A and B are shown apart, each in its own frame.
Chain A
Amino acid sequence: MPKVSSAPALEELRRDIESKRDPKKLCIALCSGTACVASGCQSVSDAFEQELDKQGLKGEIDFKRTGCHGFCERGPLVVIYPEEVCYTNVKAEDAQEIVKATKEKKTVERLLYVDPVTGKKIAREPDIPFYKNQQRFVFGPNRWIDPRSIEDYLFIGGYAALSKALFEMGPDKVLAEINKADLRGRGGGGFPAGKKWEETRNAPGEIKYVIVNCDEGDPGAYMDRSLMEGNPHSVLEGLIIGGFTIGSHQGFIYVRQEYPVACSNIEWAIKQAEEYGLLGNNILGSGFDFHVKVHRGAGAFVSGESSALMAAIEGKVGEPKLKYIHTAISGIKDRPSNLNNVETWANVPLIINKGSDWFRSIGSEGSKGTKIFSLVGKVNNTGLVEVPMGMTLRQIIYDIGGGIPGGKKFKGVQTGGPSGGIIPEQFLDTPIDFDELTKLGSMVGSGGMVIMDEDTCMVDTARYFIDFCCEESCGKCIPCREGLRVLREILTDITQGKGSEKDIETIEEVAQVMADASLCALGKTAASPVLTTLKYFGDEYEAHIKEKRCPAKVCSNLINYYIDPDKCEACMICMRNCPGEAIQGGKGIVHWIDQEKCTKCGMCYQLCPTKFSAIVKLSGEPVPAPVPGKAVARKKGG
Chain B
Amino acid sequence: METSVSLEIDGKKVKAKEGATILQAAKAANIDIPTLCEHEKLAPYGACRICSVEVEKKGRSQVVVACGYPVEEGIKVKTRSPKIDKIRKVIIELIAPVLSNEGMGTIKTLASEYKADVSRFIPKFKATPTRCILCGKCVRYCSEVVFRNAIGFVGRGTGRRVVFFPDRAYAYCATCQQCFGVCPTGKIGSQTTGDVFSGFSIDDFISGKMS
Contact = CB atoms under 8 A, between A and B. Distances in A.
Select the residue from B44, B124, B126, B134 with max chain A CB neighbours within 10 A: B124
B14 interface: no
Contacts of B87: 479, 513, 516-517
B33 interface: no
Contacts of A484: 157-158
The 10 A-B pairs with the shortest beta carbon distances in the complex, nearest first, are A475-B160, A322-B46, A482-B94, A489-B124, A513-B90, A473-B157, A322-B68, A517-B49, A517-B87, A475-B157
A488 B125 CA distance: 10
Contacts of B136: 476
**B: contact size bracket:** 35 or more
A225 B156 CA distance: 24
Interface string B29-57: 00000000000000011111110100000
A519 B49 contact: yes
Contacts of A477: 46-49
Interface in B86-101: 86-87, 90-91, 94-95, 98
A479 B93 CA distance: 10
Contacts of B67: 322
B121 interface: yes
B133 A486 contact: no
Interface in A320-359: 322-324
B28 interface: no
Given A470-B158, A482-B91, A517-B52, 7 more contacts: A322-B67, A323-B68, A473-B157, A485-B124, A485-B125, A486-B121, A510-B94
B69 interface: yes
10 contacts: A322-B65, A471-B158, A473-B157, A485-B124, A485-B125, A486-B121, A486-B125, A488-B158, A509-B90, A512-B86
A452 interface: no
Given A473-B157, A477-B48, A479-B49, A513 B124 contact: no
Given A324-B64, A475-B160, A481 B153 contact: no
B156 A472 contact: yes
Interface in B108-160: 121, 124-126, 133-134, 136, 153, 155-160
A485 B49 contact: no
B48 A478 contact: yes
Contacts of A473: 156-158
A176 B133 CA distance: 49
Given A322-B45, A489-B124, A516-B52, A478 B91 contact: yes
Interface string B168-197: 000000000000000000000000000000
A165 interface: no
A474 interface: yes
Interface in B60-109: 63-65, 67-70, 83, 86-87, 90-91, 94-95, 98
A490 interface: yes
Contacts of B158: 470-471, 473, 475, 481, 484-485, 488
Contacts of B68: 322-324
A413 B94 CA distance: 31
Contacts of A317: 153
A381 interface: no
Contacts of A243: none
A96 B124 CA distance: 62
A493 B125 CA distance: 12
A479 B94 contact: yes
A490 B157 contact: no
A270 to B, nearest CB: 30
Contacts of B133: 478
A531 to B, nearest CB: 16
Contacts of B63: 516-517
Nearest to B136: A476
B159 A475 contact: yes
A228 B95 CA distance: 42
B124 A486 contact: yes
Contacts of B50: 478
Contacts of A472: 156-157
A107 interface: no
Contacts of A485: 94, 124-125, 158
B184 to A, nearest CB: 12
Contacts of B159: 471, 475
A111 interface: no
A507 to B, nearest CB: 11
Interface string A276-310: 00000000000000000000000010100000000
Given A300-B156, A324-B64, A513-B86, A478 B69 contact: no
